Amino acid sequence: MDLPVIPTPVFDRWVWMEEFTFSHIPIAAVITAWMFLAPILELIGYRKRDLRYDRLSKSLVYFSMILFSPGAALGTGIPFLIIGLYPEFWARWANMFFWPLIFQFILFTMEVLFLFNFYYLTWDKTMHRKRTHIACGFIAALMGELIQLIWDGIGSYMLTPGGVPLPAVNEPVGFSLAGYLNPSFLSLFLHRSFGNLSFTLLLAGGVFAFRHMRHRVPTEKAYYGFAADVTFTLGFLFFFAQPVIGWFYARVIQGEAPVAFIAMMGGHAWYYFIPKLLLILVFVFIAGTYVFVRHRDKPWLLGAISIGLASFYVIFLNHPPLRVFGSPLAWRIAYTAGILGFIAYLWFVRWRGPALRVPGWQIFLLVAGLASTAVFFFGGNMRERVRSPQTVYGWLEKPEATDYERNRFLTYEKCIGCHIRSPRDLVLPAGETWNQRVAAEARRPEVSLSDEEVVRIASYLEEVDK
């Protein structure tokens, strides 16, 4: 189909797309997460007759309101950009998900009505009808979650279409339930929901801690200390759902989009995955230390966190062994010892807690909040990048795809059967060229490679060797 592809000035097409999207998604994530939390906190405050929760809840909604207009304006720009830069994708994708997009628009309208008119603006007026007010907050939150549910359904289709074909430009489907409920739909929704809650709360906790440090008025200082503790601790707890959901998510990707999985686990997107893990270590270390010192009198909480930390193990099991310690066995021993050692350290901290109070701890909390935000960016970027050079996995290629990217995709796709973990496991014996090596592999009875594919794979591997 001869649709126009508009060339971009200054930056490549994907850079424009990425920056536009990145400008909107964090804002949307913050609003969705805080809208979800605000009525819960308000309800807690109402039940406990504690006005601090009410204030905290209102401040989250207030900040969401400030972010809402710029976020929505940026969100409008994303379809504009896609229509011009990826017209074929948009035409086919909008054909398939027309009704979810329209439904999302209706929900969005409802969300604004409830958030602005029936929740925030009526906060003081309905002080004596708190239950009604909280109900309005929950409806607004529900709308936000449903919107995310819609986007995650149609977004996850791009990575795991699950065999549902992308309709042609002139083939209006309207809605494909099978495409919407694609294999990674639920995993992505859960992973994003908990991820959003976790990173936004950790970030809020860091900011509140910073305000606690700077404030001189005792009552205000006490409030910010309370707000920092509630948000930071909640954020840390929400985080523990992530490894478990992440494990299932990774498994789905491995089964449904194996090339993308390889790209992530040691392939060309490793430099998103590894820093992401390192950043997780940073905030888990800070948050763990904080919670074990601050809440040392709640052994049930600390026990639960210890079990949660042990679940980190699944991520390391998923990932191909790093060669930093030589053999894979040494790597496994290292991370096992690391996790156990960290849990031991936390319990030690709990025991020595009072002696470990340090001035400026608020800065550490802020650092942890920023680290968790960076994790969010790395994660989102990685998810979009692992499909490259395809826009919809297996169905549509990017207009700007290069031969190098196509050959890389082919290499991953064809070599996964035997070289399961990483393309870097492919080793060239001395005295051979990649052409010879791949041609020799192609002669194996279980391998199916055409002559053209041999040349393309060899070409890619030569490029990698350079």
Which residues are near other proteins by CB under 8 A? 1-7, 62, 65-66, 68-70, 72-77, 79-81, 83-85, 87-88, 90-91, 94-95, 98, 101-102, 104-106, 108-109, 112-113, 116-117, 121, 169-172, 174, 397, 399
Give least dist CB 124 to other proteins, A.
13
Residue 102 Cα distances to 72, 109, 175, angstroms: 16, 11, 11
Looking at beta carbons only, is 55 or 294 nearer to other proteins?
55
Counting other chains too, the contacts that 353-360 makes at CB distance below 8 Å and 24 or more residues apart are: 353/292, 353/293, 353/296, 356/289, 356/293, 357/293, 360/213
Tokens, residue 61: 């909604």
Give least dist CB 109 to other proteins, A.
5
Dist. CA 226–CA 48, nearest whole Å? 15
Looking at beta carbons only, is 220 or 425 nearer to other proteins?
220
Looking at beta carbons only, is 72 or 426 nearer to other proteins?
72
Q: How many CB atoms lie within 10 A of CB 5?
A: 14
Give least dist CB 363 to other proteins, A.
26
Give least dist CB 4 to other proteins, A.
4
Looking at beta carbons only, is 109 or 433 nearer to other proteins?
109
Q: How many CA atoms lie within 13 A of 265 on its CB side?
A: 25
Looking at beta carbons only, is 118 or 325 nearer to other proteins?
118
Looking at beta carbons only, is 101 or 416 nearer to other proteins?
101
Q: How many CA atoms lie within 13 A of 48 on its CB side?
A: 11
Helices 13-48 and 130-159, packing angle to 10 deg? 150
- DSSP secondary-structure letter at 225? H
Give least dist CB 6 to other proteins, A.
4
Looking at beta carbons only, is 154 or 449 nearer to other proteins?
154
Looking at beta carbons only, is 65 or 416 nearer to other proteins?
65
DSSP secondary structure string, 343-411? HHHHHHHHHHGGGG--TTHHHHHHHHHHHHHHHHHHHHHHHHHTTTTEEETTTEE-TT--HHHHHHHHH
For tokens 């900011």, name the residue.
Answer: 207
SS3 of 326, please?
A: coil
Give least dist CB 441 to other proteins, A.
31
CA angle, 94 then 257 then 372, to 5° = 85
Looking at beta carbons only, is 76 or 450 nearer to other proteins?
76
Are 26 and 373 within 8 A, CB to CB? yes
Looking at beta carbons only, is 72 or 274 nearer to other proteins?
72
Dist. CA 421–CA 328, nearest whole Å? 12
What is the sign, positive or negative, of the torsion defined by CA atoms of 330, 335, 337, 338? positive
Amino acid at 369: G
Pairing status of strand 390-392 against strand 396-397: antiparallel
Give least dist CB 7 to other proteins, A.
6
Give least dist CB 292 to other proteins, A.
38
CA angle, 66 then 68 then 71, to 5° = 120
**Phi, psi values for residue 396, rounded to 5°:** -145, 130
Give least dist CB 113 to other proteins, A.
8
Looking at beta carbons only, is 229 or 397 nearer to other proteins?
397
